[in-house]
Amino acid sequence: MSALVAGAALGASLLVVAPVHADEPAPPVVVPDTLTMWPGQGTVIDVLANDTSPSGDDLALCRFPEPDIFTEKLPSVMVMQSPGILPDSTGGPGELLVGLAPRARGTHVIDYYVCDHTHLVPATLTVVVREVQPVDVTKVRGKRGRLKVTNHNDRPVRVWYGHPRAIRPDGKLRVPAGATRTIRVQRHKIMWAAMIGGSSGKASLLSSPGIADHGVVKHIKLKGEPLPKPKKSELDDLVDLLGRWGA
């Protein structure tokens, strides 16, 4: 009888010491990621770069929420898994392409999962949009073809202006912080964008400046003949897409 009791006690102790899943590897260790960006800016981030697997498994992104680009109005913050074909892109499993519309404001949290062969671990990417101030572009009274540009930001902006479907802008103008400048235009209607946060104002998607403000000026009276309109091209669909994104 005593031997039976001792055997039962030993079995109970083994159940306590050795859990059912004793051989299961530890889950990935996930560190939240944060990006601070300007409105209208794009960049690439590898969100797996600071995550680790104690068991040495390869990590991947799982259940990632891809945006619907066919909706009437695109989201102001778009985060997509990068195909690895863009500049600054390596095509790694944790690489994400992050793009902000010019209208993006506030803080946005993207939820997803980091997974290995046996675990799904919740993870987050927080995108903080830098605050920007308006840039005013108005017609100068009594001056044909003249526009006044006022920068209300605490850093310089570079204003691009021209026809929305042209490959290149008609002109560019640097406006210091809190300053006002004038430009001469040669169209009855121009679209403009005030770039911020970049020294060169390059128009590449990645590592680009942000957009402090943008808009359209119509019914401009000119001194002389206007510039010809650009011919329609393959850019038209892209312009329409960007118009839906930035609206």
The string of pLDDT tens digits covering residues 31-66 is 999 999 999 998 889 999 999 999 888 999 998 887
High-pLDDT (> 90) share of the chain, %: 54
Indicate the SS3 state at residue 36.
strand
- From start to end of the chain, where are the E strands? 33-37, 42-46, 60-62, 77-81, 95-100, 107-115, 120-129, 135-139, 146-151, 157-162, 171-175, 180-184, 190-196, 210-217
Evaluate whether residue 238 is within a structural domain: no
Q: For 67-96, b where at least 16 C-beta lie within 10 A, e where not — what string?
A: eeeeeeebbbbbbeebeeeeeeeeeeebbb
Say if residue 63 is in the same domain as residue 103.
yes
Residue length, the chain? 247
Say if residue 44 is in the same domain as residue 104.
yes
pTM (predicted TM-score): 0.76
Predicted pLDDT of residue 234: 47
Residue with tokens 């009594």: 142
Say if residue 179 is in the same domain as residue 111.
no
Say if residue 120 is in the same domain as residue 152.
no
Q: Which residues does 103 contact at the CB level (< 8 Å), separation at least 6?
A: 39, 76, 246, 247
Reported as type and span, the H/E element at residue 245 is helix 235-246
Q: Region 13-27: what's the mean pLDDT?
A: 58
> Quick one: which of 101, 106, 41 has its CA closest to 245?
101
Q: Region 208-222: what's the mean pLDDT?
A: 93
Residue with tokens 């329409």: 240
Question: Domain range for residue 90?
Answer: 33-129
Say if residue 154 is in the same domain as residue 189.
yes
Distances (CA, A) of 209 to 38, 63, 102, 149, 215: 7, 31, 11, 19, 17
Q: Is the dihedral of CA 75, 108, 195, 46 positive or negative?
A: negative
Say if residue 139 is in the same domain as residue 215.
yes
Convert the pLDDT of each residue in 72-95 to its tens digit. Answer: 577 889 888 876 555 556 668 899
Say if residue 104 is in the same domain as residue 192.
no
**Paired residues of 151 in beta bridges:** 135
> Quick one: which of 167, 205, 179, 166 has its CA closest to 78?
205
Q: Is the dihedral of CA 166, 167, 171, 177 positive or negative?
A: positive
Evaluate whether residue 99 is within a structural domain: yes
Where does the pLDDT of residue 17 fall: very low under 50, low under 70, confident under 90, or very high at 90 and above?
very low
Distance (Å, whole) CA 78 – CA 95:
14
Residue with tokens 């005013």: 136
Say if residue 217 is in the same domain as residue 140.
yes
> Quick one: which of 218, 138, 144 has its CA closest to 181?
138
Domain with 207 in it: what CATH number? 2.60.40
Q: How many structural domains compose the chain?
A: 2
